Copies of this chain bind each other. A is one copy, B any other.
Amino acid sequence: MELRVTGRKTATRIVPTQVGGDEVVRALEEEIALGLIGPRARLVEEELTQRFAVKRHVARQALADLETMGLVVRQPYRGAMVRDYSVAEIEQLYLVREMVEGRAAELIPLPASAALIGQLSVIHGRHCAAVAAGDLRSVFRENLLFHRTFFAACGNVPLAEVIEHLAMKVHAIRSYSIGNPATLAAVCKEHAEFIALLQRRDRKRLVALVSQHIQPAKEAYLMLARHVNRPSHPPQVATAQ
């Protein structure tokens, strides 16, 4: 008897050596977000098949998915590379994020249910622990989960999906701030505030905190972008792992 990974949407990780397409997507997303694979790095199908022990059409599909996520660009017969956003694009992206996340925060019932508070507290605990341990991969995952759980509480599924989708696009940028311990500590502290505010009725402050919470990554990127001569960015090679 052998457990198998079935389809894209119902995949559950079981076999570590033979992995589903979603796993590849998630792993690559993570590494892009962590800056292990930098902007303009090439992603070659053959390399992926070897690294993840999948067949080529799986790697191929993963790249297609990453493209629709906005993390990767592909050109016919020329392959895929990690996308890098221009300063203008970043600013636009953050404007939209602020808008939809703010609106979602307005929809969350206050005070929040005990169940939600409990869930967020658990995640927050793990997140803080990961930060303390310097385990960036876990930091990334727990942070993602925290936000997902938080915004799902708005009760509007498509809205939560849009929020997640936009956050994903921004992953490539976050790598500039995720390495900074000070920023990480600040994020942790703000998460604690989220939980505290959810138990009160001060919606104004909650919405304000949401806006405030997304700024640091943007600032870090824009700061950096102004010092680097963006267009002639030298191509980096993908040698993660």
A162 and B159 form a contact (CB under 8 A): no
- Interface-lining segment among A95-103, A213-221, A231-239: A95-103
Mark contacts of A8-41 with chain B using CB atoms, 8 A cut-off: 1 yes-contact digit, 0 otherwise. 1110000000000000000000000000000000
- Asked if A6 lies at the interface with its beta carbon under 8 angstroms from chain B, I say yes
Q: A61-B64, A64-B61, A68-B68 are known contacts. Are A76 and B10 too (CB-CB below 8 A)?
A: yes
User: Contacts of A155 on B, CB cut-off 8 Å?
Assistant: 92
A166 and B162 form a contact (CB under 8 A): yes
Interface residues of A in 147-166 (CB under 8 A from B): 155-159, 162, 165-166
B166 and A93 form a contact (CB under 8 A): no
Q: A10-B76, A68-B68, A76-B10 are known contacts. Are A95 and B159 too (CB-CB below 8 A)?
A: yes
> Which of B7, B100, B103 lies in contact with A76, CB distance below 8 A?
B7
User: Contacts of A157 on B, CB cut-off 8 Å?
Assistant: 89, 92
B77 and A7 form a contact (CB under 8 A): yes
For residue A7, which residue of chain B has the nearest CB?
Answer: B76
User: Contacts of A8 on B, CB cut-off 8 Å?
Assistant: 64, 74, 76
A100 to B74, CA, bound (A): 28
User: Contacts of A7 on B, CB cut-off 8 Å?
Assistant: 74-77
For residue A92, which residue of chain B has the nearest CB?
Answer: B156
A76 to B169, CA, bound (A): 27
Interface residues of A in 81-101 (CB under 8 A from B): 89, 92-93, 95-96, 99-100
User: Contacts of A100 on B, CB cut-off 8 Å?
Assistant: 99-100, 162
For residue A68, which residue of chain B has the nearest CB?
Answer: B68
User: Contacts of A159 on B, CB cut-off 8 Å?
Assistant: 92, 95-96, 99
A93 to B158, CA, bound (A): 6
For residue A5, which residue of chain B has the nearest CB?
Answer: B76
Q: How far is the CB of A151 from chain B (nearest CB, A)?
A: 12
User: Contacts of A96 on B, CB cut-off 8 Å?
Assistant: 156, 158-159, 162
Q: How far is the CB of A78 from chain B (nearest CB, A)?
A: 9
Interface residues of A in 119-178 (CB under 8 A from B): 155-159, 162, 165-166, 169
User: Contacts of A74 on B, CB cut-off 8 Å?
Assistant: 7-9
- List 5 A–B pairs whose Cβ atoms lie within 8 Å, in order of A's numbering: A8-B64, A9-B74, A68-B68, A99-B103, A162-B165
